[in-house]
Every structure is written in C-alpha cells, then in structure tokens.
C-alpha cells in the first residue's frame, strides 16, 4: 500500500498576490517536497474536475451558477474576504474533483491514504455562499461522494484548521452519518463553533466543537484527542476519515494566535492514523485548508506527510 498525492499546476491559477490565500502557498509546499525528496515515495493521483452534479450534492444550483457567471465576467469578490478570478470556477471544480480522485483511490485500495494539495480551500463554504477564502466545500463534497458513489455509510471529518469550519458543520448538522469534529481558536473568525452546537434532529451528538483560547498548545489538543475524540470516533466506527488539514494554528501564522509547532501536527496525524487503522483499514484523505506563513506552512505539511508515510511503513 502507498500514500497518494494530489496536485496540479492549475491550482495556481486562482490567485490574488496581495491576498494571504494566494498561489505561493502551494509553490512553497511543492518546493519543499522536491527539496526533501519525498515525492519519490508518493503515488501521484491525477485530479479531475468535479461534475456539477457532484458539487450540487452540497451546494445550491443558484450559488454554483453565481460563481460561474462571476468568473466568466473576469472575476470579483464573493464577500470581503473571498476573491475569484476568470479561472477560479474551473480551478475550484478541479480542487473538489482532486479530493474525489483521492477518495476513489483510497476506497479502491490503490493507496491507503492520500494528501490533497488543492486550493482554493473549502471548509467555510456554505451550501448557498462562499466565504472565508472558500468557494466550494471540498471535504463536504468528498464525504457525500464517498457515500453516494461508493456506498459508505459513516464518514468522520476531523478539522484542525484554526478557524471553525462553519460550512462543513452546516452541511451535516442534522446528519448522523457524518461525524464532524472541529478544533478551533475562539473567539475568532467566523464566530461559530461553540460547544453547544452539537447537531440537531437525528444528527444531534454528531457535531463536536472544541473551541480553544488563543495561546493553546499541542498538549491542549492532545488532551481532547485522548479524552473525547478518540473514544467517540471508535464508537462511531467510520469507513473513511477525512482531515480538513489547516496549518494556521502554527505559532508563526499571521492570521491566528495559537502555539502549535510542526511536531504537533505530526502527533495529531499519528492519532488520526490510529483511529483509521482501528476502524477503516487506515483509509484517510487529508485536504489542505489554511496556513499562511510561507516558511511554517511547508514544514507543517512535511511533518504531516511524513507521519502518513512513516506510520504506513511501520506496519
């Protein structure tokens, strides 16, 4: 078994140089993978564009058409934080489809786990609007694809981006087939993600928020993993694990105030691998979300990827 990597140079076409979520985020990561000679150990998984039907599994048709029209007109802003260019609609389809290609490869057993280095990110995108740098919700679309196209019944999404994934939460808020778990700084953008937001209807108890104060470090996260997340995840018994892998919790990130280092992201990955090994044959698809310090970001991704690789090789 192997670890897969999803990347395409077209992900760089969605770009606004003065914006923190710009193409340099991926170029610095890819340079680091080349320098550390890690790519030779990875299986390249070519992305594809998601179909409109696949996007519609999460997003409203009117919103999809709005993004398409805006990009056909040359681009513009979906909100104060979220830009588009002429290429952004097609790039966003390729980002979502890249994650779907990773899910398919993992479910079919071509790789055991995979990292999708895609952008724009996704976890803030609501069914009817983009926000927080996000256009389409890559992780949510991937969860629906795993269920609808591959027959999986239970999907676990672990989101350790420093910002609460309001979009992902809202997609699955009444759905007991997806366990959504978010670690995030609070108070912080977008202002959602309290411990009281536990889901509703049949989904009550399947939405878990862990808001943490600024300055929290790795041990604060690990305590939650061991005391709460791992027991709940094992009880839930997922058939695949998705990670919304944001690295903006790093202490050097300009958009947050946490005290995490790259070694902490490796530990979080190790524990997630443990969950996947015990429940779903190690099936993990990790999806890039935030991370805006161009020196810290590649170090975090390398630590995360090495953990996916090394834990697999140890078995």
| Catalytic annotation, residues | 124
Q: State how beta strands 42-44 and 75-77 pair.
A: unpaired
Which helix (H) or strand (E) segment holds residue 42: the answer is strand 42-44
Q: Over the Cα atoms of the chain, what is R_g?
A: 17
Check residue 226 and report its DSSP letter: I
CB count in 10 Å sphere of residue 11: 25
Query: Which residues lie across from 212 on neighbouring strands?
Result: 185
End-to-end CA distance of the chain: 10
DSSP secondary structure letters along 186-197:
SS-TT----TT-
**What is the SS3 assignment for 235?**
helix
- Angle, CA of 192, 195 and 199, to the nearest 5°: 80
């Amino acid at each position: 078994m192997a670890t897969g990597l999803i990347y395409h140079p077209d992900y760089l076409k969605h770009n606004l140089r003065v914006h923190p979520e710009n193409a340099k985020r991926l170029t610095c990561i890819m340079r680091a993978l080349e320098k550390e000679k890690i790519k030779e150990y990875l299986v390249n998984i070519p992305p594809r564009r998601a179909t409109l039907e696949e996007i519609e599994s999460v997003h409203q048709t009117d919103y999809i058409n709005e993004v398409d029209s805006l990009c056909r007109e040359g681009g513009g802003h979906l909100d104060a934080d979220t830009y588009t260019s002429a290429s952004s609609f097609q790039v966003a389809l390729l980002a979502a489809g890249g994650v779907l290609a990773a899910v398919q490869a993992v479910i079919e057993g071509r790789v055991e786990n995979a990292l999708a280095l895609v952008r724009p990110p996704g976890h803030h995108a609501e069914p009817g609007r983009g926000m927080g740098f996000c256009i389409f919700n890559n992780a949510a679309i991937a969860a629906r694809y795993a269920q609808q196209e591959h027959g999986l019944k239970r999907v676990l999404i672990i989101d350790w981006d420093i910002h609460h994934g309001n979009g992902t939460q809202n997609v699955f808020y009444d759905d007991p087939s997806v366990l959504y778990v978010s670690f995030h700084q609070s108070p912080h953008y977008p202002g959602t993600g309290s411990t009281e937001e536990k889901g509703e209807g049949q989904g009550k108890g399947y939405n878990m928020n862990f808001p943490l104060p600024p300055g929290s470090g790795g041990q604060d996260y690990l305590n939650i993993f061991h005391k709460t997340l791992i027991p709940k995840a094992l009880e839930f018994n997922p058939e695949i694990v998705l990670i919304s892998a944001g690295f903006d919790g790093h202490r050097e990130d300009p958009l947050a105030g946490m005290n995490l280092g790259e070694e902490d992201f490796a530990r979080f990955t190790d524990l997630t691998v443990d969950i996947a090994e015990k429940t779903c044959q190690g099936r993990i698809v990790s999806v890039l979300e935030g991370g805006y310090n161009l020196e810290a970001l590649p170090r975090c991704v390398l630590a995360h990827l090495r953990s996916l690789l090394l834990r697999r090789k140890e078995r």
